[in-house]
Amino acid sequence: MLPVLVVHGGAGRIPKEREGLSSEGVRSATRAGYTVLRGGGSAMDAVVEVVTVLENNPAFNAGCGSVLNAKGEVEMDAIVMDGRTLASGAVSAVRNVANPVQLARLVMDKTSHLCLTAGGAGRFARSMGVPEVPGESLITDYARMCWKKNLVLDTNHVEFQMGKMGTVGAVAVDAEGNTACATSTGGMVNKMEGRVGDTACIGCGGYADNKVGAVSCTGHGEAIMKVTLARLILFHIEQGRSVEEASDLALASMKERPHGLGGVVTVDSQGRWAARFSSQQMSWAAAQGNTLHYGLYAGESFTQSLDKTV
């Protein structure tokens, strides 16, 4: 089976001056992840690699670069899911770790639980030897600026909130036909301390099942949770819809009922893929065979050779 990897760098409205950073970041992370798949790596290895690269890139709202909560601190959510066994691991409201996605994978691999939160997740990280990083090291000037602006403006103003999205996620199908997803975020700007968003919740921020496919979501977390967006898309695929139709139908329900905007990357078990969004923009890239597809605005899709370095 020809492996495929689809990656997003968050749905929302990306300020003009940050479009290049976002698109280049997503493309280079996709190349890194596809190298893992081409080398015979598993779908799970590839999605964790991609999300780790994006967490380490301060242009995204995950790991270093995360948005700040109402107190001006970083609290992050992440999830992984393995479509082969339905194994999953997640962390929520976690602090002081550089790569929450790797901690989520440890929850999956080393515990009998699905999600660890806040202080307990931190203690688990220490017990696993995950290095503790100062909270300040995850905060960028841009995140602090957004936080200050939101303190002045109405924090519930969705359009402004959408300006600093940049959650990251990936889905993959490997050569063996195994599917996986990973998603990581700092959440919503000026969220309440302790808020847990869609990303850490199975079936909301992500889902993977070899029998159907895999999805990673981004957008207004509370709305995503109300429609269990990732699982809803896979339900539509189970009902015979294509990856595009299933993604669009579920995003439309999320817009109609809880009035939320968002975006998704979706693969089915045959390796067909889609990157769809109801927000103004979503930075995305997909690698399959020798081609890298990518885009930022609705209806836009460019290609590059994967054998050419950028």
Q: What residues act catalytically?
A: 167
Closer residue to ligand ASP (CB): 3 or 219:
219
Of residues 21, 35, 169, the one with CA closest to residue 90:
169
Q: Give exposure, 208-240, as e/b (b: 16+ Cβ within 10 Å).
A: bbbebbbbbbbbbbebbbbbbbbbbbbbbbeee
Q: Based on the shown chain and the rule CB under 6 A, indicate whether residue 188 belongs to the binding site for ligand ASP.
A: yes
Q: Based on the shown chain and the rule CB under 6 A, indicate whether residue 221 belongs to the binding site for ligand ASP.
A: yes
User: Minimum CB separation from ligand ASP for residue 44, in Å?
Assistant: 21
Q: Based on the shown chain and the rule CB under 6 A, indicate whether residue 165 belongs to the binding site for ligand ASP.
A: yes
User: Minimum CB separation from ligand ASP for residue 281, in Å?
Assistant: 12
Alpha-helical (H) ranges within the chain are: 19-38, 43-55, 100-110, 118-127, 141-152, 158-163, 221-227, 229-238, 243-256
- Tokens 């967006």 -> residue: 229
User: Minimum CB separation from ligand ASP for residue 162, in Å?
Assistant: 8
Name the segment binding ligand ASP (CB under 6 A); options: 79-87, 206-214, 219-227, 293-301.
Answer: 219-227
Radius of gyration of the chain (CA): 17
**Nearest 10 degrees: CA dihedral of 301, 303, 309, 310?**
-40
User: Minimum CB separation from ligand ASP for residue 204, in Å?
Assistant: 9
Specify whether the CB–CB gap between 164 and 59 falls below 8 A. Answer: no
Q: Applying CB under 6 A, which of residues 218, 269, 278, 288 lies at the interface with ligand ASP? A: 218
Q: Based on the shown chain and the rule CB under 6 A, indicate whether residue 75 belongs to the binding site for ligand ASP.
A: no
Specify whether the CB–CB gap between 215 and 229 falls below 8 A. Answer: yes
Site string for ligand ASP, 5-34 (x = CB under 6 A): -----x------------------------
Name the segment binding ligand ASP (CB under 6 A); options: 28-36, 107-115, 181-189, 237-245.
Answer: 181-189
The backbone region for 243, taken as left when phi is positive above 0, alpha when psi lies in -120 to 50, beta otherwise, is alpha
SS3 category, 215? strand
User: Minimum CB separation from ligand ASP for residue 52, in Å?
Assistant: 18
Closer residue to ligand ASP (CB): 37 or 93:
93
Q: Based on the shown chain and the rule CB under 6 A, indicate whether residue 76 belongs to the binding site for ligand ASP.
A: no
Question: Interface with ligand ASP by CB under 6 A: which residues?
Answer: 10, 61, 165, 167, 185, 187-188, 197-199, 218-219, 221, 224
